[in-house]
Structure 1
Amino acid sequence: MSEQLLNSTRRGAVALLEINRPKAKNSLNNELLDAMAAELTALRTDESVLAVVISGADGVFCAGADITAFDEIRAQPLVGAGTGETFWSILEAFPKPVIAAVERFALGGGCELALACDIVIAGEGARFGVPEVKIGAIPGAGGTQRLVKAVGKSKAMAMLLTGDFMTAEQACAAGIVAEVVADGETLAHATAMGQRIAQNSPLAVALVKDAALASFETSLAQGLAHEKRNFYVAVHSADSLEGQTAFLGKRAPKFTGR
């Protein structure tokens, strides 16, 4: 492959994944998604990595899917299309925290990517949108589902049906974005947050993420039972004993993820 579609670097215990298709405004194509899937699969079992940050090269997060790929999709049979494990299912099942550092555009597939991450940090000039209806398509990577859960039915429907964009401040007020920072500072802020997360018990972080995400799939009663099971697993862990001992001894804990 002549083009390095994904740059992967480390900042301590934080893995930095940079989408690198700047000439295409970092739009998503199959080759890029395959590269991201392979990287996440490797990072899943890398115990030295405790958080992941996804960003885009050249000051753009991701302007959407590469619409030239629609021709390839049309060539596939409609029945059974879209089955099988994909980058999106790998990201959804990824046990470590994933933070999106969004600059300028998170549109279409880029907005869906941000929504699929656990936390979104946005530059003040960033724009979020799902404008697929403007080209005769609809979101196909979770946009109709995650957007409704993130912002509620009315705001989600307004975005989905008009294709209008949200500013970073609007997205923060609506619940898509956790924090708005100065343009050009999202990667630094997201990395710093990842490093703060990495100071906590890796087991507790994985268990709390698992419990929180279960709320999207279960009733309240089922979610509370799931949380209780994870709580007892956490309290019976070596990390919990170390955290308690360190707290009482007024020292920093040394977590092992066990």
Structure 2
Amino acid sequence: MPTILIDRKEGYAVLTLNRPESLNALNSDMMTELCVALRMLDDDAACSAVVLTGAGRGFCAGLDLKLLSQPEGMAALGISGANDIHEAFQRFSKPVIMAVNGIAATGGFELALMGDILLGCENTRFADTHARVGIAPGWGLSQKLARIIGPSRAKEAHYTGNFISAQQASDWGLVSRLVAADRLLLEAEKIASDIHEADRRIVGVVKQMVDQGLAVGLKEGLAIEQALMTQANKSVRGEQVAQRRLAVQARGRTQVN
């Protein structure tokens, strides 16, 4: 049985972590299949965005700790090369919407933060239990979380392993917004569809601007924006902008009505 389900839609794809019996805990097969899926969809010209969610009642419980009990420990997971999901998401050039349908714990918390947009529901909960299981984080959680919710809240989460509730995640800006559980995937897919209707080239440029800018200070980030803007706008033609402007105006009237 595949550990990653791929559902192709018009303009985007939905990936589902498919180990519901273990709250979609990450094993070697799942990480390999996820990396393969990302590479395939990155090369797919028909795909503008990806939605990632979990089967069953959990998003992802992190690394499968049963494997860590084996004599080879962390090596049993082979988190490198074809299994390095952190690197795979960093290389992925298209937007990723995380539909966090349940618990996102430890490595699953890190996985959620690899996305561009996070949506939650009343069942969403986050937890960092690295300090409780005795493993240090290595997929960016210690750096990303403090930048999103502030160092005090992040350190409390890191040190205690306590859950961050859905409401806290919303109040602290950890998720874009909360929606009803039965509408979570629909809302995530709507965002993916909206992205598909935009200028995909510019979406990709803006993704680079934001991601690269977050890794440096404001001055350096502004320089990155200027450099990428200059390169991207070289090929812009007035008639293309005019056509896009008419489409934007029409869409605005539809949304207002």
Shift of 1:82: 6.3
Question: Quick one: distance in 2 between partners of 1:159 and 1:191?
Answer: 30
Q: Look up the match of 1:13.
A: 11
Q: Look up the match of 1:191.
A: 189
Question: Quick one: distance in 2 between partners of 1:167 and 1:234?
Answer: 40
Secondary structure at the residue paired with 2:178? strand
Change (3 A) 1:9 1:82: closer
Which structure 2 segments of 5+ residues have no match? Answer: 250-257
Match of 2:205 among 197, 204, 207: 207
Q: Look up the match of 1:74.
A: 73
After superposition, residues 109-258 of structure 1 pair within 5 angstroms as: 109-238=107-236, 241=238, 243-247=240-244, 250-251=246-247
Secondary structure at the residue paired with 1:88? helix
Give the root-mean-square deviation of aligned CA atoms.
2.2
Which structure 1 segments of 5+ residues have no match? Answer: 254-258
Q: Look up the match of 1:33.
A: 31
Question: Quick one: distance in 2 between partners of 1:169 and 1:62?
Answer: 19
Question: Quick one: distance in 2 between partners of 1:51 and 1:129?
Answer: 27
After superposition, residues 61-100 of structure 1 pair within 5 angstroms as: 61-70=59-68, 71=70, 74=73, 76=75, 84=81, 86-100=84-98
Deviations 1:45-92 (A, max 9, x none): 11100000001112421122101232365375xxxx966572211101
Q: Look up the match of 2:255.
A: none
The more displaced of 146-155 and 109-118 is 146-155
Question: Quick one: distance in 1 between partners of 2:71 and 2:98?
Answer: 28
Question: Quick one: distance in 2 between partners of 1:72 and 1:93?
Answer: 32
Deviations 1:86-106 (A, max 9, x none): 221110121100010011211
Shift of 1:17: 0.3
Number of equivalenced pairs: 246
Determine if contact 1:103/1:184 at 8 Å carries over to the other structure.
no
Determine if contact 2:213/2:224 at 8 Å carries over to the other structure.
no
Higher normalized helix content (fraction of residues): 2
Secondary structure at the residue paired with 1:61? strand
Deviations 1:17-62 (A, max 9, x none): 0010011111111110110001101111111000000011124211
Determine if contact 1:53/1:191 at 8 Å carries over to the other structure.
yes
Identity %: 31
Shift of 1:139: 2.4
Question: Quick one: distance in 2 between partners of 1:231 and 1:241?
Answer: 16
Question: Quick one: distance in 2 between partners of 1:215 and 1:185?
Answer: 33
Question: Quick one: distance in 1 between partners of 2:3 and 2:147?
Answer: 31
Question: Quick one: distance in 2 between partners of 1:75 and 1:194?
Answer: 35
- Matched AA of 1:156: A
Question: Quick one: distance in 2 between partners of 1:184 and 1:178?
Answer: 17
Determine if contact 1:51/1:97 at 8 Å carries over to the other structure.
yes
Question: Quick one: distance in 2 between partners of 1:98 and 1:235?
Answer: 24
